[in-house]
Amino acid sequence: MVRPKDNEEGFESEQVSFVLGTRYLLTFQEEEIEDCFDIVRERIKANQGKVRQQKADYLMYLLLDSIIDGYFPVLEDYGDRIEDIEDELAIRPNTNQLKEIYLIRRELLALRRAIWPLRNVTNMLVRRESSLISSEAQIYFRDCYDHVIQILDIVETYRELASSLMDAYLSSMSNKMNEVMQVLTVVSTIFIPLTFIAGVYGMNFEYMPELKTRWGYIICLGFMGAIAGGLVLFFWRRGWFEPFARPNIPLSKKD
């Protein structure tokens, strides 16, 4: 049996055991707290449905069905968490998202291990002939088995989505690094010819005619500015300044 944790993400599990007899059904739980069996208890107390008119195998079906239904709110929570991470990755990836992805994958693996025994139990109840299980109850247990298979499929789908989110995060980090390298390349390429010119005229040779020119300093600065402006125009036309102009889009809050 699983249920979402109170006021925090994740789930907590509890072992439940059944002992089925001809006219009785014993259940064993680890903790005495509100659980998914409360709905069945209220139906028995209020004499709703046909639970009082059926045998113990039908009651066992109701309890198993309640346990299985308890997995769906947990899965819905993981679906929302994965969707939130996917939205954040598209806007502003960070290391906290990677930690969350690892946590989700580990918790989904634990959830898969928790549901797997139910698969074996429901499969046995459907396929194995027993005097304690009527043919009518086997139809109900088959419905439980189908729901368990559905839950396992959803868990595997979410684990694959988490893996794809991890790949998307690594791809985003790689793209971000490429943008940084692109910025550094643009800056370095602009300053390389300027550094070369400054280095040439910074040599202290005695015979350098340009140093004696009256307007040499202004001409040199203008020439360096023209080179820098030409390179900026060249890179701008090729779209290399997109990382500079990309706006910082705030995360949208869900209602």
CATH number for the domain spanning 219: value is 1.20.58.340
DSSP count for the chain of H helices, then E strands = 7, 4
Residues 184 and 150 in one domain: no
Task: Supply the range of the domain harboring residue 188.
Answer: 179-245
Residues 163 and 148 in one domain: yes
Question: Tens-digit pLDDT profile for the chain (255 aa)?
Answer: 777 777 777 787 788 888 988 888 888 887 766 666 777 777 777 777 676 677 888 888 888 998 898 899 899 999 999 999 988 887 888 888 889 999 999 999 999 998 998 898 888 888 887 778 888 888 889 999 999 999 999 999 999 999 999 888 888 888 888 888 888 888 898 889 899 988 888 887 777 777 777 887 888 889 889 999 998 888 888 877 776 655 554 444 444
What confidence score (pLDDT) does residue 251 get?
46
Query: How much is the pTM?
Result: 0.71
What confidence score (pLDDT) does residue 60 get?
87
Residues 195 and 130 in one domain: no
Continuous H helices in 92-200: 95-127, 135-200
Residues 125 and 228 in one domain: no
Cα distance between residue 36 and residue 25, in whole Å = 17
Residues 72 and 140 in one domain: yes
Structure tokens, 73: 């709110």
Contact present, 71 and 2 (Cβ < 8 Å): yes
Cα dihedral 145→54→63→29 (10° resolution)? -130
Cα distance between residue 166 and residue 246, in whole Å = 24
